């Protein structure tokens, strides 16, 4: 993101209170201590935000209520005159210096009045107030550099809508993605392909990207730069981390495609991990349970009360023994069987076209989420005319590091050999599944190849196949996936 410099003449406008809330009637004003917000801002690198902006964030959160134009004018004059020397106040009666920024405040009120603050999620009132601070500060700076209020509210609402429903693990994965400049050189971004994906003209798209980019730069500036991991526990509230992702979505159009495809993959039941937690009998188990006896070999496991019944009521004891209605003790241990996925990912030169890299990453991130929830184990390999080294991911930290290493130079392989990828994928799955305590394995292939397939369904040996054809059609591969009962999507 290119930094946006705000004109010097707007310094007062950016530092003074906007007077667009109802501080007299706001219950939130009493519930949230401004000093508490200041301390949290310092902890997450937003200490350069002026205190008046913090007041906005604290008070505006009260159902987003905004004052009318007359009230904004009155409060603007009042606050400016409170900062003037007595003699300057007398002169202001004549020269009306306090009125100089009223028009800007009215513009800001127009922009903020349409912002959907209820989309900002946070665990605490302070977290939500901090997120409001970032939104209001962004709107102020956007007004100052000349972006129309309606464009500001539209873009901010779009960003809030995209990230409002993101879960914590989705935010975490998107934070570790490389910058768009590492995944695709700016001079190779295909605006025509992007416009076709979104159903709008390229002229509208480029104009909108320019506005989005400037707003995104101001958004990112609120966070004091890119979020950095530390050895200590992360102090950023999830609400602020969502806004950090929102700034990337605005500035990097490919991220939008990544998020969209990842959510599409979530909709398919057949593509969900089958994670089982169950207790199994084990002689070295660390827990004990009672169950009905199944054979007479289990007589030594009878509870002491059963043997007491033999003495007290012999006939009843023989009856219960004949009907096997006694309870026996059994040692058990917990067994968590995870789903095993293996993904074959196309890294040929053609994957640089349009948004194909992001769509491939979307499927990879979708499966990594299952690993992060400890519901699956993921293995994956890239392929072109050959199949490259495999990566086995059972720990989240391993996956993050692999994703960070990706860059556009990586996608400079040869032509695509899908048949080789399928057969090698089956071989690798078979060699791994015996060493992993996992459910029935499933094979995933993500490619933009459209050439014929000569692999037969019986060669998969019962492995479920999921196929994602990126921006192309491949009927043979689609039919093969359907024969195994897997998910098959073309023209992704």
Say how far apart CA 438 and CA 191 lie, in whole Å: 43
How much is the pLDDT for 201?
A: 65
The CATH code for residues 338-489 is: 3.40.50.410
Say how far apart CA 394 and CA 121 lie, in whole Å: 30
Q: At what angle do helices 102-113 and 69-82 cross, to 10 degrees?
A: 130
How much is the pLDDT for 236?
A: 75
**Interval 278-317: pLDDT, tens:** 566 766 667 777 888 888 888 888 877 788 888 888 888 8
Burial 83-116 (b: 16+ CB within 10 A, else e): eeeeeeeeebeeeeebeebbebbebbbbbbeebe
How much is the pLDDT for 424?
A: 92
246: tokens are 């929102």
Helix (H) or strand (E) segment spanning residue 250: helix 238-251
Provide, for the chain, the percentages of residues in helix, strand and coil under a 3-state DSSP scheme, each rounded to the nearest 5. 55, 15, 30
Picking from 53, 68, 54, 78, the residue whose alpha carbon sits closest to that of residue 22 is 68
How much is the pLDDT for 204?
A: 64
Position 21 pLDDT exceeds 60:
no
**Interval 333-342: pLDDT, tens:** 665 677 888 9
Provide the 8-state DSSP code for 165: T
Picking from 453, 391, 388, the residue whose alpha carbon sits closest to that of residue 414 is 388
**Interval 23-78: pLDDT, tens:** 445 545 545 566 677 777 777 766 666 666 665 666 555 555 666 777 777 777 77
Q: Determine what percent of the chain is predicted with pLDDT higher than 90.
A: 5
Angle at 245 between CA 244 and CA 248, to 5 degrees: 95
Write phi, then psi, for 250 (nearest 5 degrees): -70, -40
How much is the pLDDT for 47?
A: 62
**Interval 199-234: pLDDT, tens:** 666 666 666 777 888 888 888 777 654 445 555 545
Residue 294 CA, distance from chain mean position: 50
| Structural contact between residues 342 and 443, judged by C-beta atoms closer than 8 angstroms | yes
| Cβ neighbours around 156 below 10 Å, total | 26
Where along the chain do its domains lie?
Answer: 8-251, 276-336, 338-489
Helix (H) or strand (E) segment spanning residue 15: helix 11-15
Mean pLDDT of the residues in the chain: 77
C-alpha dihedral sign at 462, 463, 464, 466: negative
Average pLDDT over residues 439-454: 85
Say how far apart CA 221 and CA 215 lie, in whole Å: 10
446: tokens are 């993500």
The segment with the largest mean pLDDT, out of 172-176, 310-314, 367-371, 481-485, is 481-485
Say how far apart CA 14 and CA 3 lie, in whole Å: 17
The residue assigned the tokens 């009318």 is: 68
Position 370 pLDDT exceeds 60:
yes
294: tokens are 């199944």
Position 387 pLDDT exceeds 60:
yes
Say how far apart CA 62 and CA 57 lie, in whole Å: 9
Provide the 8-state DSSP code for 246: H
Say how far apart CA 244 and CA 469 lie, in whole Å: 31
| Structural contact between residues 53 and 140, judged by C-beta atoms closer than 8 angstroms | yes
40: tokens are 């949290």
Position 487 pLDDT exceeds 80:
yes
What is the 3-state secondary structure of 291-335? EECCCHHHHHHECHHHHHHHHHCHHHHHHHHHCCCCEEEEEEEEE
**Interval 78-123: pLDDT, tens:** 767 776 788 888 888 888 887 877 787 788 888 888 888 888 877 7
Average pLDDT over residues 155-179: 84
64 Cβ contact partners less than 8 Å away, ≥ 6 residues apart: 112, 115, 117, 118
**Interval 242-278: pLDDT, tens:** 888 888 888 887 787 788 888 787 777 667 776 655 5
Q: What is the DSSP string of 95-146?
A: H-GGGTTHHHHHHHHHHHHT--GGG---SSHHHHHHHHHHHHHHHHHHHHTT
Position 474 pLDDT exceeds 70:
yes
Say how far apart CA 458 and CA 379 lie, in whole Å: 22
Say how far apart CA 175 and CA 228 lie, in whole Å: 10
Picking from 78, 72, 44, the residue whose alpha carbon sits closest to that of residue 56 is 72
Position 14 pLDDT exceeds 60:
no
Q: What is the DSSP string of 181-223?
A: HHHS-GGG--HHHHHHHHTS-HHHHHHHHHHHHHHHHHHHHHT
CB-count burial class (<10 Å; 0-12, 13-18, 19+) for 340: buried
**Interval 399-415: pLDDT, tens:** 777 777 777 766 777 78
How much is the pLDDT for 226?
A: 45
| Cβ neighbours around 385 below 10 Å, total | 12
How much is the pLDDT for 422?
A: 92
How much is the pLDDT for 269?
A: 64
Residues facing 277 on adjacent strands: 336
The residue assigned the tokens 């060699």 is: 431
Say how far apart CA 3 and CA 159 lie, in whole Å: 19
């Amino acid at each position: 993101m290119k930094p946006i410099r705000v004109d010097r003449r707007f310094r007062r406008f950016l530092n003074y209170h906007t007077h667009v809330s109802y501080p007299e009637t706001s219950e939130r004003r009493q519930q949230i201590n401004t000093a508490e917000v200041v301390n949290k801002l310092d902890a997450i690198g937003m200490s350069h935000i002026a205190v008046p902006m913090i007041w906005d964030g604290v008070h505006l959160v009260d159902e987003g209520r905004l004052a009318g134009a007359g009230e904004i004018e009155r409060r603007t004059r009042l606050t400016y005159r409170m900062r003037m020397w007595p003699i300057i106040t007398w002169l202001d009666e004549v020269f009306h210096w306090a009125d100089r920024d009223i028009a800007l405040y009215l513009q800001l009120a127009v922009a903020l009045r349409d912002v959907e603050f209820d989309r900002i999620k946070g665990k605490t009132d302070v977290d939500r107030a901090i997120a409001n601070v970032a939104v209001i500060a962004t709107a102020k700076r956007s007004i100052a550099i000349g972006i129309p209020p309606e464009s500001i509210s539209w873009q901010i609402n779009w960003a809030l809508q995209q990230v409002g429903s993101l879960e914590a693990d989705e935010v975490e994965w998107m934070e570790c993605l490389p910058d768009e400049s590492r995944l695709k050189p700016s001079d190779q971004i295909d605006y025509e392909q992007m416009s076709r994906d979104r159903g709008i003209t390229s002229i509208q798209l480029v104009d909108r990207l320019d506005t989005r980019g400037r707003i995104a730069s101001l958004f990112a500036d609120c966070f004091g730069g890119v979020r950095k991991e530390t050895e200590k526990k992360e102090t950023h509230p999830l609400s602020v981390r969502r806004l950090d992702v929102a700034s990337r979505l605005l500035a990097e159009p490919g991220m939008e495609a990544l998020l969209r495809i990842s959510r599409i993959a979530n909709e398919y039941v057949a593509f969900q991990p089958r994670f089982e937690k169950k207790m199994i009998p084990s002689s070295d188990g660390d827990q004990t349970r009672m169950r009905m006896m199944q054979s007479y070999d289990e007589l030594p496991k009878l509870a002491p009360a059963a043997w007491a019944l033999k003495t007290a009521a012999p006939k009843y004891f023989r009856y219960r023994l004949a009907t096997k209605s006694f309870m026996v003790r059994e040692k058990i241990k917990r067994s968590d069987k995870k789903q095993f996925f293996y993904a074959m990912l196309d890294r040929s030169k053609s994957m640089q076209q349009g948004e194909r890299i992001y769509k491939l990453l979307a499927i990879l991130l979708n499966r990594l989420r299952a690993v992060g929830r400890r519901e699956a184990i993921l293995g994956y390999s890239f392929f072109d005319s050959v199949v490259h080294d495999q990566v086995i991911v059972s720990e989240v930290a391993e996956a993050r590091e692999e994703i960070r290493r990706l860059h556009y130079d990586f996608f400079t392989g040869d032509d695509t050999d899908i048949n080789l990828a399928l057969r090698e994928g089956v071989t690798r799955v078979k060699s791994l599944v015996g060493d992993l305590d996992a459910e029935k394995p499933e094979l995933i292939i993500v490619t933009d190849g459209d050439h014929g397939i000569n692999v037969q369904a019986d060669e998969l040996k019962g492995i479920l196949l999921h196929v994602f054809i990126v921006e192309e059609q491949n009927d043979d591969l689609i039919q093969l996936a359907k024969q195994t009962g897997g998910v098959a999507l073309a023209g992704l």
